[in-house]
């Protein structure tokens, strides 16, 4: 399946929100790891009308690089509280652990944050097999950049070989061909 790729620009603080708006950016991604630097006393409401689409990421990669973990309950509460102020949210994934990532996705579905997009962590094909019976969306995230480096010589072959019945978000991934041929939805 081919899409016109939707680009999300990352903003990590209020100044970047303002700069991206001034530059005409229409879609932004905000990591939960930086939510306190982007939100004001009323949360994300102040940026809702500045962009066409706001994507909230769990901040798992940032936490991973700092040797920490994101608290599932805190993240889920944040997603519920801010629901009207964003369009897309990523589940809380566990970098490199497809089983705990799958368990977290099921937990999101069971505990009322079922609108999150599931993240395929580690070996994406294996992760998809593990998660497929639990999916409530056709929009999936391709996470865990170590997979691209560790398991493949040509990671774009992996993207091209994924089932085309799904839309994929490539976390911090992209190249000319991925966008030209619509291999990634976002």
The model's pLDDT over 95-124, given as tens digits with 9 standing for 90+, comes to: 888 999 999 999 999 999 999 999 998 788
Angle, in degrees to the nearest 10, between helices 98-110 and 124-131: 30
**pTM of the predicted model, to two decimals?**
0.89
CA-based nearest residue to 145, from 96, 89, 98, 79: 96
pLDDT of residue 148: 52
Residues 153-165 have a mean pLDDT of 74
Distance CA 112, CA 61 (A): 23
pLDDT class of 157 with cuts at 50, 70, 90: low
> What local confidence, expressed as pLDDT, does residue 97 receive?
87
**Which tokens sit at 47?**
């940026």
Higher pLDDT among residues 146 and 140, named by residue: 140
User: What pLDDT score does 164 carry?
Assistant: 85
pLDDT, residue 89, reads 97
* Higher pLDDT, residue 88 or 7: 88
| Residue scoring higher pLDDT (183 or 126) | 126
Q: Given pLDDT bands bounded at 50, 70 and 90, which one contains residue 171? A: confident
Instruction: Please report how many Cα atoms fall inside a 13 Å half-sphere around the Cα of residue 12, on the Cβ side.
Output: 3
Coil, helix or strand at residue 93: coil
C-alpha 116: how far from chain center: 9
Q: Can you tell me the mean pLDDT for 52-62? A: 92
Mean pLDDT of the chain, nearest integer: 87
């Amino acid at each position: 399946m081919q899409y016109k790729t939707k680009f999300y620009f990352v903003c990590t603080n209020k100044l970047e929100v303002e700069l991206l708006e001034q530059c005409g950016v229409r879609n932004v991604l905000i990591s939960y790891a930086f939510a306190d630097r982007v939100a004001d006393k009323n949360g994300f409401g102040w940026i809702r009308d500045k962009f066409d689409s706001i994507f909230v990421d769990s901040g798992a990669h940032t936490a991973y690089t700092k040797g920490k973990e994101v608290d599932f309950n805190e993240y889920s509460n944040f997603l519920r509280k801010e629901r009207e102020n964003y369009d897309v949210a990523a589940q809380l994934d566990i970098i490199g652990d497809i089983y705990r990532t799958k368990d977290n996705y099921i937990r999101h579905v069971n505990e009322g944050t079922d609108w999150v997009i599931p993240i395929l962590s580690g070996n994406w094909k294996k992760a998809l097999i593990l998660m497929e019976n639990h999916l409530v969306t056709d929009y999936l995230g391709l996470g865990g950049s170590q997979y691209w480096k560790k398991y493949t010589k040509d990671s774009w072959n992996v993207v091209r070989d994924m089932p085309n019945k799904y839309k994929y978000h490539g976390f911090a991934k992209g190249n000319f061909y991925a966008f030209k041929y619509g291999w990634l939805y976002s």
